[in-house]
Every structure is written in C-alpha cells, then in structure tokens.
Structure 1
Amino acid sequence: KIFCSKWIFNLSSIYSQLLNMSVLLIKLNKRFFHIEGKIHSHKRIGPHNLDIIQVIIGSLLGDGHLEKRSKGIGTRLILEQTNQNVEYLMWLYKFFYNRGYCSSLKPKIFKRIRKNNVIYYGIKFNTYTFSSLNWLHESFYTQENIKHLPIYLLKYYLNPMALAIWYMDDGSKLGSGFKLATNCFKLSELEKLCNLLHNKFKLNCNLHKDKLSWTIYIKKSSAKQFANLIEPYMVDSMKYKLGIYSQYYKQGLK
C-alpha cells in the first residue's frame, strides 16, 4: 500500500507553480513510508492533492473546523463525530493518515456535558499543522474567526466527494427530499450556494427557515439525482441517510 507523505522541504519559491501537483512521495528501499516525528509547520508547505482539499472543504461545510495555531504559523483541521458515527470518523482518520496528514495516534474519545446534564460522548482527531493550509482558513473564516462561505472557491472545489462529506456530516432525509444543515451561514451566502448547486449539479433546492437560521432543502425532483451523485463516496454505515434512494440498502433487501 502506498502512503503519500506531506512535503517536508522548504520550496516556497516555487510553491505557486506547484499548487496542482501531487504530494511528494518519500521513497526508501523501494518502499514508501509514512513520516512521523516533529516537523515545523513552515516546512509543511504542500502542495496538496485535489482530494485532500475537497474532503477538507466538505468537512468545513459540515462539522469540520480549521484552527489557526497561536504558537505557530500554520493551520490544522479538527474533526469530531458522535460515538454513533465512529466508523465514519475512522474512515476520515485513515483517509488523512494514509496520505501523511496525521500521526499514528488513534482518535481520542471525549465526554461533554450538555444542557440538563446530558452526557455526550464523541471521538475526534486533528491533522498536522500546515502553513500551506492557511489560505483555506483565510477563505472560510473572518478576522473574528467566524465561518462563512467563500462561493468563489466552492465554484471550483465543490464536487461529488465534497458533497458526500458535507452530507455525511450535516445532512439528513427530510420528507421526500434531503436537508443540509447550514445554520451557521448567512442567508445571502446560502442563496448563492443554492444557485451554485443548481448551476453546477442541476439540483433543485431552496432554503427552509429553521427558527432563526436557514437550511438547504434538496427537493423531491432532485432527490434521486443527489443520492446517485454522492453515494459512491459515502461510508457504508452512513448510507442509511439516503433512505429509499440508497442503492446499497436496496441491494441488501434483495
């Protein structure tokens, strides 16, 4: 199995020319190795494979969070899920680990206390810190560290894989269609995102008011198309979210 590793050399002078190239493979004795150990974030400069960027963007549309490190010059991705979605979180961990983006330390279990003293268990991990991820933090967060939608970026990077990550994170079946939780984003941004989903994927969708915020609703007329678009990229344990539109569960019923 090939493990792709992060760039570990300072190539900032040619970084702009390498944005669309694959990550460097470190080869030793005809085998590829996952690099461990402390490497300063300014030496982790990319470039990054397209699938890495798309999974990060899908996560940021959902539950993912980019953290700009206070003691460094880089950014890391933090991912967490409830204990009910362990398989999905472990899939994300293996995705990043196999490409050299996080350590061999397994995701951590955590406990939080919610309202009415309800105990909540989850599992989380974070990637290494990369100076070459700063541009994503600057694109998705304001100076006040509030997440927003960079539509100009989504026009290029939002693809079926990113949609699948977004839906597995924050999507659900609603009536004859699907709902994408977008409560933290502004109405003006969501209107542009709906237009993007229609123009890029021909999905019929609109906005639903959810108390004081808004969510995106994929209409029944596009439900099957949406499911067919994202199911090939979904973890099996999360395909229940597609309901009757899931080919995986249809095959299981035969």
Structure 2
Amino acid sequence: MRTIPREVCLSETQKAVLVGTLLGDGAIKLHGKNARLHIKHSRNQLPLVLYKYFVFANFISMDVNVFEQRVGKKDYKFAEFVTHTHPEFTAYYDLFYPSFKKIVPANINVLLSNPLSFAVWIMDDGSAEYAGLSIQTHSFTAKDVQRLQEAILTNFEIETLTHKNKGRDIIYFPKQSLSKLRKQVFKFILPEFKYKFLPYSARIQTP
C-alpha cells in the first residue's frame, strides 16, 4: 500500500474543504497511530464525492466505491472513499473529536473563515426552505450551533436564526440573508447543488 510521507502537508484548498466537510457529513477516524478522512454520501451526491476525491487525490490510492447498503428495511445507494492515514488528518481529529464524538471546535471562528469551507458545508448539509435556506446541524449541541452562528456573523457578516427541527437546533438563513450568502459562496457551489439557494416559495408557478 502506498504511504504518504509525513512531510506532505494539506494545501490551503484541502484545509478549507476539510473544515467544510467535517462540519457536514465527513468523518475523520483513527486508524493505528494516525487518522484518515472518510467521505460517504448518497449516490445522488456523487458529483460532490468526486469533487472531494479530486481535492484529496494525493492522499488517496483507492477508487470511489459505489455500493448498496441496507438501512432499516430499505436498500440505499452510497458512494465513498477513504484517504490514507496521515498526521495532518490526526491534527484535525484532535480538534473535532476531543472525546471521540464530533464537536464544533472552540476556535471555529478561525477554522471557518474561508468561503470555500462555507460552500462545502452547505453542499453537504444545506437545504432549501420555503423562504430561505437551512443547514442541518442536528448532530451538534445548542452551544456548538451558537459557535457556528457567531463564526458566520464575524467572518461573513451574515445574520442567522435557529429553528427547531426534530428537537434540535438548525441554522436558518432568512430571505433577507440569502443575497449576501450567495455573494460569499455561490461561485464555489457545484452546479448540481445550486438549487439549495432557491427557496420553495420562488419555485411556485402562478397560473
């Protein structure tokens, strides 16, 4: 198996994409002494998987794996890949998994400062709403969500709200914030995910 020299470092683009995907669906897992990045999405999000595969190509030796998996009583199609282990990923594991469960690091205002990170996070967990856009932050605590809101306000000057969904706080961008959000991140959004910026109310066709 090919190994990645310790001297190889994550590029600024790789760091930005890594932060965005860790806030979303990505996971870093320990494997031996170091950690590796695991990307797994629905088959419907294959363009996003392929984008991340391209970004982290110098840390990967496997092909993207497309497969079926039974979840409950239904079969679903997924696409995934795993990087090699590397100290660079271990450093982010220590930030996001201090007690083996993913959290929002206390220095997220530093980590979430690149619009590319913001865009990847939205592609992972963003959802169009009736009049705005939400990010599904169910896996984080209320304190974590507050940290994220503060980072968004500080670094991107975008005000957000929280809505309750399934008993958890999710981040909501109201209609008046969408224009500023688009200006910050839209150029990084893959074509297949731009629909998330079009609220359902704007899709209603009048006779």
TM over 0.5: yes
The one-letter amino acid of 1:64's match is G
Give ranges in structure 2 of 5+ residues lacking alignment: 200-207
Secondary structure of the residue aligned to 1:151 is coil
CA–CA distance in structure 2, aligned partners of residues 202 and 239 of structure 1:
21
Q: Counterparts of 1:188 and 1:91 in 2: how far apart (Å)?
A: 31
Ranges of 4+ aligned residues in structure 1 off by more than 3 Å:
none
Q: Which residue of 2 aligns with 1:186?
A: 141
Match of 1:63 among 9, 25, 36: 25
Q: How far apart are residue 224 of structure 1 and its match?
A: 1.3
- Aligned AA for 2:42? T
Counterpart in the other structure of 1:201: 156
Which residue is 2:9 aligned to? 47
Match of 2:109 in 1: 155
Amino acid at match of 1:67: K
SS at match of 2:63: coil
Q: Percent identity?
A: 24
Aligned partner of 1:87: which letter?
P
Please state how far the C-alpha of 1:199 moved relative to its aligned partner.
1.7
Aligned residues: 198
- Which structure's relative contact order is higher, taking Cα pairs within 8 Å and 6+ residues apart? 2
Task: Find 2:131's aligned residue among 147, 170, 176.
Answer: 176
Tell me how far apart the structure 1 counterparts of residues 122 and 139 of structure 2 sit (CA, whole Å).
15
Task: Determine if contact 2:135/2:170 at 8 Å carries over to the other structure.
Answer: yes
**Distance of 2:35 and 2:21 partners within structure 1:** 15
CA distance in 1: counterparts of 2:175 and 2:159, whole angstroms: 8
Is the CA contact (8 Å cut-off) linking 2:128 and 2:195 kept in structure 1?
no
Corresponding residue for 2:91? 135
Specify every segment of 5 or more residues in structure 1 that has no aligned partner in the other structure, as ranges: 1-36, 245-254
Q: Decide whether the 8 Å contact of 1:62 with 1:169 is kept in 2.
A: yes
Give CA deviations for 1:150-173 in whole Å, capped at 9, x if unaligned: 131x22231210011000000011
The AA in structure 1 aligned to 2:109 is K
Correspondence for 1:233 among 188, 193, 196:
188
Conserved in 2, the CA contact under 8 Å of 1:45 and 1:131?
no
TM-score under structure 1 length normalisation: 0.74
- Cα distance in 1 between the residues matched to 2:66 and 2:52: 15
Residue 47 of structure 1: CA displacement? 2.8
Matched, 1:95 2:59: no
CA positional deviation for 1:45: 4.3
What's the Cα RMSD here? Answer: 1.5
TM-score when scaled to structure 2?
Answer: 0.90
8 Å Cα contact 1:44-1:129 kept in structure 2: no
For residue 110 of structure 2, what is the amino acid of its counterpart?
A: Y
